[in-house]
């Protein structure tokens, strides 16, 4: 038979488990909805800047060859 202290312990551990599980789920959703899209956007921006720089260098090289 479980004593009152045992019931209190089991209840407390159950409540703490739900907060722990909620924290893990919240973290996973934050990573999925904030950090991954932000990282993708950052990489797209870097690639775009790199392409623009390469185009500018090609343009300047063509101008130098013309003169």
Is the pTM here over 0.75, yes or no? no
Round to the nearest angstrom and report the end-to-end CA distance of the chain: 97
What is the full DSSP assignment across the chain? ---HHHHHHHHHHHHHHHHHHHHHHHHHHHIIIIIHHHHHHHHHHHHHHHHHHHHHHHHHHHHHHH-
Task: Give the distance from CA 23 to its chain's centroid.
Answer: 16
Q: Give me the residue spans of the domains in the chain.
A: 23-67
pLDDT at residue 45, rounded to an integer: 97
Q: pLDDT tens digit string along 5-61?
A: 999 999 999 999 999 999 999 999 999 999 999 999 999 999 999 999 999 999 999
pLDDT at 63 over 90: no
């Amino acid at each position: 038979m479980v004593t009152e202290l045992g019931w209190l312990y089991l209840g407390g551990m159950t409540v703490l488990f739900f907060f722990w599980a909620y924290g893990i789920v919240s973290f996973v959703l934050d990573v999925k909805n904030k950090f991954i899209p932000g990282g993708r956007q950052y990489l797209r921006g870097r690639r775009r800047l790199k392409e623009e720089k390469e185009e500018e260098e090609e343009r300047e090289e063509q101008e130098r060859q013309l003169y």
